[in-house]
């Protein structure tokens, strides 16, 4: 593990990805790609998402091209695809558990005066299925349904930091996927990769992670060693309203 070297003030906020970071990585993205390829076949024969292309962005591009050729078809394709994605997400959520260390980790950071948030590309219903009391355990929860643009767009992470009243330079983004690291890098936070999900060490470091660790259970120790935890605790960061109601359902 490469230790953080940038001299910084103690963290005010840690923002976590969800699946593969705070919860088991159950959702089968290979299955989702195959199902979506079959679903779009009548609209776009031969179209299939490449493994490295996130499905939401792939669908957006496909729908835009379709809409240009056949007005009205783009939104119809998106609606059908998103309905199937949600079914797969909610079904997987029913088999997903938080990692054993998650609740203690979140409570420990709050006790040190560090705000916490979850940002996920998963849907709100799936997150609530796995973590029904998330609103009480962290200061902000921002799912795909809560923002207009999901990570790696930095707006997603930025909305979480705004809810926690934390500047990017005093925040850490933690996730198992290079997109989590990319979101943090684009916004200017510290970034940490964990090896409990989709991304391997090499991919996370290549994305620019400041450090990589086996799982989030080791995070408080690493942050303490790096001098990034507030000394002697601090004022607890209370949950604040995080969601722009106008953005819901975007």
Is 17 a binding residue for Mg ion by CB under 5 A? The answer is yes
- Candidate segments 1-9, 11-19, 74-82, 86-94, binder of Mg ion by CB under 5 A: 11-19
69's CB contacts (< 8 A; 6+ apart) are none
| Per-residue interface string for the shown chain with Mg ion, residues 182-221, x marking contact by CB under 5 A | ---------------x------------------------
For the segment 119-158, give every residue that binds Mg ion (CB under 5 A): none
Measured from the CB atom, the residue of 115 and 197 that comes closer to Mg ion is 197
Among 20, 74, 139, 239, binds Mg ion (CB under 5 A): 20
Measured from the CB atom, the residue of 49 and 175 that comes closer to Mg ion is 175
Cβ atoms of 137 and 115 within 8 Å: the answer is no
Q: Which two tokens stand for residue 27?
A: 């959702």
Q: Please state, as a whole number, how many other Cβ atoms lie within 10 Å of the Cβ of residue 238.
A: 9
Tell me which H or E stretch contains 160. helix 154-164
Among 89, 145, 146, 176, binds Mg ion (CB under 5 A): 176
Among 4, 19, 145, 152, binds Mg ion (CB under 5 A): 19
- Candidate segments 7-15, 52-60, 139-147, 171-179, binder of Mg ion by CB under 5 A: 171-179
Measured from the CB atom, the residue of 196 and 220 that comes closer to Mg ion is 196
Cβ atoms of 238 and 38 within 8 Å: the answer is no
- Candidate segments 20-28, 89-97, 213-221, 226-234, binder of Mg ion by CB under 5 A: 20-28
Give all strands of the β-sheet with 140-142 in edge-to-edge order.
140-142, 115-119, 13-16, 171-175, 190-194, 211-213
Q: How far is the CB of 197 from Mg ion (least distance, A)?
A: 5
Query: 3-state DSSP helix/strand/coil percent for the chain, to nearest 5?
Result: 45, 10, 45
Where b means 16+ CB within 10 Å and e means fewer, 117-127 reads bbbbbbbbebb
Q: Which two tokens stand for residue 123?
A: 């849907």
Q: Closest CB to Mg ion belongs to which residue?
A: 20
Measured from the CB atom, the residue of 20 and 168 that comes closer to Mg ion is 20
Residue in the structure block whose two tokens are 């933690």: 174
Strands 190-194 and 115-119: unpaired
- Candidate segments 17-25, 139-147, 199-207, 238-246, binder of Mg ion by CB under 5 A: 17-25
How many residues in the shown chain lie near Mg ion by CB under 5 A? 6
Please report, as ranges, the residues that interact with Mg ion according to CB under 5 A: 17, 19-20, 176-177, 197
């Amino acid at each position: 593990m490469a230790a953080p070297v940038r001299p910084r003030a103690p963290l005010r906020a840690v923002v976590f990805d969800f699946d593969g970071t705070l919860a088991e990585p159950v959702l089968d993205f290979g299955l989702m790609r195959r199902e979506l390829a079959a679903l779009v076949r009548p609209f776009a024969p031969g179209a299939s998402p490449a493994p490295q292309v996130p499905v939401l962005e792939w669908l957006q591009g496909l729908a835009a091209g379709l809409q240009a050729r056949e007005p009205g078809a783009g939104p119809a394709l998106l609606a059908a695809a998103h309905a199937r994605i949600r079914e797969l997400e909610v079904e997987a959520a029913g088999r997903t558990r938080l990692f054993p260390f998650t609740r203690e980790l979140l409570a420990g950071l709050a006790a040190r005066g560090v705000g916490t948030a979850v940002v996920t590309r998963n849907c709100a219903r799936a997150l609530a299925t796995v973590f029904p009391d998330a609103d009480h355990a962290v200061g902000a929860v921002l799912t795909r349904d809560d923002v207009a643009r999901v990570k790696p767009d930095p707006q997603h992470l930025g909305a979480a930091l705004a809810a926690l009243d934390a500047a990017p330079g005093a925040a850490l983004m933690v996730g198992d996927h290079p997109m989590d690291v990319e979101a943090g890098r684009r916004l200017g936070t510290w970034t940490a990769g964990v090896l409990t999900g989709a991304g391997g060490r090499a991919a996370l470091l290549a994305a620019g992670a400041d450090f990589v660790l086996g799982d989030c259970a080791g995070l408080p120790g690493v942050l303490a060693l790096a001098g990034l935890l507030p000394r002697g605790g601090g004022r607890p960061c209370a949950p604040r309203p995080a969601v722009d109601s106008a953005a819901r359902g975007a």
